[in-house]
Structure 1
Amino acid sequence: MNCFRKLSLTDFELLPHSEKDDSMTSTKDIVTWTEDPAHFAKPGRRDFLRVGVCGVLGLTLGDFFRLEARAEQKFYESKEGKAKGVIQIVLPGGMAHQESWDPKPEAPLEYRGPFGVAKTNVRGVVLNENFANVAKIADKMTIIRSIAGKEADHGRASYAMFTGYRKSPAIEHPAIGAVVSHELGSKQNLPPYVAVPNATEYAGTGYLGSQFGPFGIGSDPGRSGYQVKDLMLPAGVDDYRFYKRQRIRETVDEHFRKIASKAEALGAMDKFYERAYAMISSPAAREAFDITKESDATKSKYGNNEAGMRFLLARRLIEAGVRFTTVSFGGWDHHAGIENAMRRQAPTLDQALAGLISDLDERGMLDSTLVLVTSEFGRTPKINATAGRDHFPRVYSAAMAGGGLQRGLVYGSSNSTASEPEENPVRIEDVLTTVYQQIGINADKELMAPGARPIEIIDGGEVIKELVS
């Protein structure tokens, strides 16, 4: 039969190391769980001290082990970052670096593709002609042309783009937005991490608690009928009834909080409820999501379309106090017909991005807002038989702006056919580590994963020092 006797403080005392050896033979009442009383095991001195500390402090052994693991973590001195917010613009599908940030006008036609170049306002720097508006504000930007990746699969490459890790069946890592949420928390009754219009598959919390996940608005600001439904009171529920429901929920929560097995899940739920209540009850928070407050002139600057309105909403959210906004604008997987596809899609991105960066700068927000524009990989150097380009992680580009980064800088280069990094190769881990530094987070800090296992936010990433002003 199962046997277990609950210990009390009168059963033992903490003894100095010199008074007891590891056998602790005189301690007969401290036991470990076993199926048979005859097999009770006598603990060693380390176990004895653990139990003593737990008893005195009112801790479970699980609590003790978690504290012990945390005590072994590295110490980190936090310092305020130059960036107060981040706008991560994700271009799912893999936008061709040749048709955007790294044109090769001197390469043979089958490599350079069907487009010419646009001269920028930075001496000696050109972009693909698809980004003529961005070219006019290149002096406000930072472009990296030498990112070296390893993953050619959309899912695995996207995972690396969001987390800085290669995908593993052993553990799921948190996206950068979730880490920012975990480390910096919320401001102004707003969620710290928002996804526009919705969270993508790999933009989640990984091993962090679900309360650090993105708030997906569930509606596209670039389409008619845009409305953030979670910010609206249900039909027939006025402010007073909403308040009463909140009080009732708190009473019920207090009852279940006394049940230990429910405590952790309830804590996560409470975070969601508290955040939702704060947002719904705050006019300023609701207004942050309302793009009708913007003038027609501002909307025209961004472009009154999906890309433009998503980017405009991102600016409003950062301005209101959101820490991290992920904006998705997909459709860049051009295995065939890349010329027509880029002529159709690139102009909206070009206008929206130029509008965003110019607007941030005019409002005095660019130095405190870091903009990061990435795809999961680039495209093959040579145009294929169907007039497109295929997946290519070996070298690709990213565009950045603000947040204390150097302005008007092109960092790194690919070779003459955009097939290999040539100067200053970097990895996506390095790009994310640089972003973390600019917002005030040490990327080598260890966070606690399940099983009290400390894991670095980014493993081996290095700050790209030349990017930092």
Structure 2
Amino acid sequence: MKSLLNSANDLTRRQFAENVAKTCLGVSLMNGLAPRGYAAFEGSSKATQAATAKRVIYLYMSGGMTHLDTFGAVPGADTMGSTKTIKTSADGVQIGELLPETAKMMHRGAIINSLSSTQGAHAQGNYFQHTSYTMRGATRHPTMGAWLQKFQGKGNTDLPGSVIITGDSKHPGGGFFEAAFQPLLLNDPARGLQNSRMPGSLSEGDFNYRLGLSSQLDQGFQQSYNYKGVKAYAEVYKDAIKVMKSEDLDAFDLSKESPEMHEAYGQGNFAQGCLLARRLIEHGVRFVEVTLGGWDMHQDIDARLPEKCADLDKALGAMLTDLERRGLLDDTLVVLTSEFGRTPKINQNDGRDHYPKAFSSVLWGGGIAGGQVFGKTDKGIEVTENKVDVPDFNATIAYALGLPLDLVLYSSTKRPFTVTDKGKPITSLFG
């Protein structure tokens, strides 16, 4: 009976915390706000590399970006379909012709052409790419932004540790970590943080009175149920208030950018998300993810691909140029990835199907030695040199951030976890 009561009170507390976040911030926390366990550190790390990146902008191409038409292009191969290649700013490096602005910044990037995943379905592939772990029952694994905050704290204590700009409410988020490590979810970057300021009719004194009254009402509950979960949700409340009162709240306001800057990045959620990502990292948010969906092209790829690549190319090219001009690219790691590639063979519907066996991703800045291609395939079909598994790719990101790759954390179910499971970083990519 007691366990049932505790469970019920925990659920009530959880719902209350979620409502507080929605009311104060006008946004939703990830589903992972209700963690299924709390991590405990154990052991010491042998991976003590110095960080080459202070922050990450993670661009996720949802739906399975076609590698042969973008960054895994193979000049003259019969698997290329109608796509041609173009030269880039890096000697000897060519990419798909639909990415001309991005091509101008490949001297700062490294293409990984030998990625391989074990997951060929969207939900499973997305989860694996984000966490380095496959879906396992009720366990939710943390994503890189949560690991970064867990090990190194926030870059700006007044703002969220990580921000996810996406329409996907199933993002793994902070997994089994406490509520304080869950990312902030934004659906529309142009709207910023809605309802994040006090109403004009409410004075500072009235607001503080209400906070004090709320604290008194909570006091008995917190004393009776002195659990990590209860404390974690109380911290969510405090963080919401801190954000409301922070001068850095303007970081979420895209109206502060000039019309020329908006035009350079382009319109739409992805373009504006990239612009917001640049603003947020300038204000100390250390991990920002922006999603561009619509890559699941099982049919009519020739008709659909140009528009999708145009959306990516304009925003990505502008953001990389902007970061470089502001001196931020050197210690900002820009990641572009997807859950898998597309089949080298065009199907009967003039499209490409799911293909986890071999695909491409790219890293820019953050200590990466630019102008290189790592790994090879046989015309995009089979990996023939330097195969990179998904955990290896994520370990490379973690390595750039200086995270302890072999430090073991235990969940409440006593299961051991590391940042990227058994992934090994590609250290040769760093200059």
Normalization by structure 1: what TM-score? 0.79
Asked whether the equivalents of residues 113 and 359 of structure 2 are also in contact (C-alpha less than 8 Å), the reply is yes
1:345-368 deviation line (CA, Å, top 9, x unaligned): 111110111111111111111111
- Contact 2:145–2:287 under 8 Å retained in 1: yes
Cα pair 2:398 2:419 within 8 Å, conserved: no
Change beyond 3 A, Cα 1:160–1:230: farther
- Per-residue CA deviation, residues 16-54 of structure 1 (Å, 9 max, x unaligned), is xxxxxxxxxxxxxxxxxxxxxxxxxxxxxxxxxxxxxxx
* Aligned equivalent of 1:15: none
1:198: Cα distance to partner? 4.8
Q: Residue 214 in 1 paired to residue 177 in 2?
A: no
Report what 1:289 is aligned to: 252
Do the aligned residues in 2 keep the contact of 1:197 with 1:220 (CA within 8 Å)?
no
Closer, same or farther in 2 for the Cα pair 1:342/1:235, shift >3 Å?
farther
* Cα shift at 1:70: 6.0
Deviation string for 1:385-412 (max 9, x for gaps)?
Answer: 1110000000000011111111112111
CA distance in 2, matches of 1:267, 1:168: 27
Query: SS of the counterpart of 1:451?
Result: coil
Query: 1:451 Cα shift?
Result: 2.6
| Aligned counterpart for 1:239 among listed residues 204, 229, 238 | 204
Give the match's secondary structure for 2:369.
coil
Query: Once the 2 structures are TM-superposed, how far is the Cα of residue 91 of structure 1 from its aligned partner?
Result: 0.9
Change over 3 Å in CA distance of 1:199–1:319 after alignment to 2: farther
State the Cα distance separating 1:213 from its structure 2 match: 1.0
- What is the number of residues matched between the two proteins? 392
Q: Does residue 1:248 correspond to 2:213, yes or no?
A: yes
**Cα distance in 1 for residues equivalent to 2:117 and 2:182:** 26
Q: Is 1:256–1:263's contact at 8 Å kept on the other side of the alignment?
A: no
CA distance in 2, matches of 1:139, 1:74: 39
Measured in 2, the distance between the counterparts of 1:462 and 1:217 equals 32
The counterpart of 2:352, out of the listed 389, 394, 398, is 389
Query: Is residue 339 from structure 1 mapped to residue 308 from structure 2 by the alignment?
Result: no
User: Residue 382 of structure 1: CA displacement?
Assistant: 0.5
Alpha-carbon spacing, 1:401–1:153, altered in 2? closer, same or farther (3 Å): same
The answer to whether the aligner puts 1:312 opposite 2:275 as a matched pair is yes
Go from structure 1 to structure 2 and tell me whether the alpha carbon gap of 1:125 and 1:79 turns closer, same or farther (over 3 Å shift). Answer: closer
TM-score normalised over the length of structure 2: 0.86
- Whichever residue aligns with residue 274 of structure 1, its letter is K
The corresponding residue for 1:258 is 223
**Which of 94, 107, 110 does residue 142 from structure 1 map onto?**
110
Which residue pairs with 1:203 in the alignment?
A: 172
Find the aligned partners of 2:69 and 2:40 in 1 and give their Cα distance. Answer: 48
Confirm whether residue 408 of structure 1 aligns to residue 376 of structure 2. no
Give the aligned residue type for 1:166. T
Match in the other structure for 1:30:
none
Could you tell me whether the CA contact under 8 Å between 2:165 and 2:189 is conserved in 1?
A: yes
Q: Percent identity among equivalent residues?
A: 32
Question: Separation in 2 of the partners of 1:84 and 1:104?
Answer: 33
**After the TM superposition, which of the residue ranges 351-360 and 243-252 deviates more from structure 2?**
243-252
Structure 1's 112 and 287: CA in aligned 2 closer, same or farther, altered over 3 A? same
- Which one of the candidate residues 257, 280, 292 is aligned to 1:329? 292
Structure 2 alignment gaps of length 5 or more: 1-36
1:203-244 deviation per Cα after TM superposition (whole angstroms, max 9, x unaligned): 3222212321111124342xxxx2421523357434333232
Q: Cα gap change, 1:244/1:186 in structure 2, threshold over 3 Å: closer, same or farther?
A: farther
Give the C-alpha shift of residue 249 in structure 1: 2.5
Distance 1:433 1:274 in 2: 33
Question: Could you tell me whether the CA contact under 8 Å between 1:199 and 1:214 is conserved in 2?
Answer: no
The answer to whether the aligner puts 1:171 opposite 2:171 as a matched pair is no
The alpha-carbon distance between structure 1 residues 151 and 269, as it changes in their structure 2 partners (threshold 3 A), is same
CA change 1:263–1:167 in 2 (3 A) is closer
1:60-209 paired onto structure 2 within 5 Å: 73-76=42-45, 81-108=51-78, 111-169=79-137, 171-188=139-156, 189-198=158-167, 200-209=169-178
Q: Distance in 1 between matches of 2:182 and 2:142?
A: 9
Partner SS, residue 194 of structure 1: strand
Residue 228 (1) aligns with residue 193 (2): yes
Deviation readout 1:53-87 (Å, 9 max, x if unpaired): xxxxxxxxxxxxx9xx968x321376652211111
Q: Which has the higher relative contact order, 1 or 2, with Cα contacts under 8 A spaced 6 or more apart?
A: 2
Letter in 2 for 1:239: E
1:146 is displaced (CA, Å) by 0.5
CA distance, structure 1, for counterparts of residue 49 and residue 200 of structure 2: 46
Alpha carbons of 1:255 and 1:187: their partners in 2 closer, same or farther (altered >3 Å)? farther
Aligned counterparts of 1:321 and 1:206: Cα–Cα separation in 2: 23
- RMSD of equivalent CA atoms: 2.0
Give me the whole-angstrom Cα distance separating, in 2, the residues matched to 1:242 and 1:250. Answer: 12
Letter in 2 for 1:439: L
Q: Does 1:432 align with 2:401?
A: no
